[in-house]
Amino acid sequence: MVDGAPIYGPGTDRGVVFQEYALFPWYTVEQNIELGPRCKGMPRDKRKAVAERFLAMVGLTQHRYKFPKELSGGMRQRAAIARTLANQPPIMLMDEPFGALDAQTREGLQDELLAIWENTRTTILFVTHSINEAVTLADEIAILAAHPGRLVRLIKNDLKRPRSRTGADVVALEREIYEQRNSADGAGGH
């Protein structure tokens, strides 16, 4: 549900960033970012201003005319995030968006995502298998069990920002989540 209304399919009230970059290969970075506003009938000059804002926000201004095949994986994901944000959805759904990236790029994009969130305050529902990523990014963490999928526990993350990935408070919360996950594993979850 979004704002109390059931979700039955795609809608403009939410944007999605997938694990795979899902950019249109025949469009430049700038054209990919402008796509949603163009489909909504936004005038060209306003679309360009929106694209400019989000190109700058994700650090791709100098790569605006490149095609996805000319970008690294991290740059593609930043372009996908910018494309989603250009639609100004109240909620952004991110399905393991950094899962296919190397550790250094992943941490850099986590930091960028936090900066984007600080700037936009867009609600983000972020799916990850990385407990450290969840503790570093999230204000609330839902621990899920599989087969059948069910909520094991919802944890409020009140750790101060910025959070150090290796800080004692982060490690302590990670340990708590590992223990909760392990008890769920004993009940058939993971």
What confidence tens digit (pLDDT) does each residue in 18-60 have? 888 889 999 999 999 999 999 999 999 999 999 999 999 999 9
Q: What angle do CA 84, 159, 102 make, to 5 degrees?
A: 50
pLDDT at 82: 94
β-strands 14-17, 123-127 pairing: unpaired
For range 82-106, the mean pLDDT: 90
Choose the CATH number for 20-127 among 3.40.50.410, 3.40.50.300, 3.30.530.20, 3.40.50.720.
3.40.50.300
Give tens-digit pLDDT for 6-20.
889 888 889 999 888
Q: What is the pTM of this model?
A: 0.85
Q: What is the mean pLDDT of the chain?
A: 90
pLDDT at 189: 45
pLDDT at 96: 92
Segments of the chain assigned to CATH 3.40.50.300: 20-127
Query: For residues 68, 94, 3 and 181, what is the CA-based torsion angle, rounded to 10 degrees?
Result: 170
For range 50-75, the mean pLDDT: 95
